[in-house]
Amino acid sequence: MVAPIEAARTAPAPWRGLATRLARIDRVVLATAALLAVLAVVVPGQAGESVRFTIGSLASIAPFLLLSVAVAAYTKATGLDRQVAAVFGGHPARTITLAAVFGALSPFCSCGVVPIIAGLLAAGVPVAPVMAFWLASPLMDPEMFILMAAVFPLPFVLAKTLAAFAMGLGGGFVTHAFATRPAFAAPLRAGVSCCASACAGPATGSAPVAWRFWREPARRALFGREAWTTTAFLGKWLTLAFLIESLMVAYVPADAVAGWLGGGAWWAIPAAAIVGVPAYLNGYAAIPLVNGLMGMGMAPGAGLTFMLAGGVTSIPAAMAVFALVKRPVFALYLALGLTGSILAGLLYGLALA
């Protein structure tokens, strides 16, 4: 396969300048622009709706995303990430359990957690506790528990809480079984650790933490560089992801979802895991959506699976993860999210029966 720059150099002279400029444009940005151009020509009305959906979705997660970017940049600028890496380098059972508990209590959504796990992996934290935190964090936090308790029966809320911890814990131990494989020993894609997360500073957990990093020009610059590169990295991927999600929402109506997932059919819960990926944004948006779907006939077990699968493996989060880690790690992340959500839904259905 010819590299883009090389292809531009060997193109015919009239096209050489255009080919060179296109080769220098980020592929994600180019794909977003191309998709919008196709929509504008084929379905102009949907193009406008997709743009509004994308802007609204980015605005809705902006507070969570900016908070997580600030936390990740702060830990890097202060040197706290090295201390965290040292803490999580201890006994696997203890660190995985701790990460699952912390994840179930943290306030980050499926997209907002990406900068945090990027910083942890770049700092050298083993992938197993990171995966435990990664899976549990988007599924539950104290605020979500309170909001769900006001809408759903308490057993449903408790089932989701236990499922968040269990998925994090189980996912962490499964990932630990692969820890010696090359892709899991160094899970970040080549260049990502210095692109989505700056790579300056000594790799040691013994260096003192500079809590007031802004007093040192070098650390201030590191904070700004970390925040900017992480925001730009996630911004381009999330823009494309939300654009794709807008098409899924437009052509997969909620009443059809209720029809597919209602009743006691054996395939309702596996289907809920698959449909939950494109039809879901975040845990807070899912509360009224799933409540409405269950009112239209969705089985409770399928509703739980829908919320869990969408929380972990929604299109925006999955695309950001795909850009961040190597393919075996990404494949395991998807498998753990889908399998865990299906098992939780089946167990909850059996408990109700």
CB distance 336 to 171 below 8 Å: yes
Please report the pLDDT score of residue 283 as a whole number.
62
Residue-wise pLDDT tens digits, 278-331: 655 556 667 777 887 787 778 889 889 988 988 887 777 787 788 889 999 999
Could you tell me which residue, 72 or 132, shows the higher pLDDT? 132
CA 18 to chain centre: 35
**Six-digit token string for 253:** 């109506």
Per-residue pLDDT, averaged over 251-271, amounts to 71
Q: What is the distance between the alpha carbons of residues 325 and 332, in angstroms, rounded to a whole number? A: 11
Q: What is the C-alpha separation between 240 and 311, in angstroms, rounded? A: 18
Quote the Cα angle for 161-85-141, to 5°.
20
The CA distance from 100 to 297, in Å, is 33
Give the least confident one: 259-263, 290-294, 336-340, 348-352.
Answer: 259-263
Res 341 pLDDT > 80:
yes
Residue 23, pLDDT > 70, answer: no
Q: What local confidence, expressed as pLDDT, does residue 196 receive?
A: 42
**pLDDT at residue 201, rounded to an integer:** 39
pLDDT at 166 over 90: yes
Confidence of residue 138 (pLDDT cuts 50, 70, 90): confident
In the chain, what are the domain boundaries?
A: 46-352
The H-assigned helical ranges of 25-153 are: 27-42, 44-78, 80-87, 92-105, 113-122, 127-136, 142-149
DSSP three-state, residue 298: strand
* CA nearest neighbour of 269 among 349, 161, 325: 349
- Residues 19/7, Cβ–Cβ less than 8 Å: yes
Q: Give me the long-range contacts of 80-85 (CB less than 8 A, separation at least 24).
A: 80/209, 81/119, 81/120, 81/122, 81/123, 82/123, 82/124, 82/201, 82/202, 82/203, 82/204, 82/205, 82/207, 83/205, 83/209, 84/120, 84/123, 84/125, 85/120, 85/123, 85/124, 85/125, 85/205
Phi, psi of 188 (to 5 degrees): -70, 145
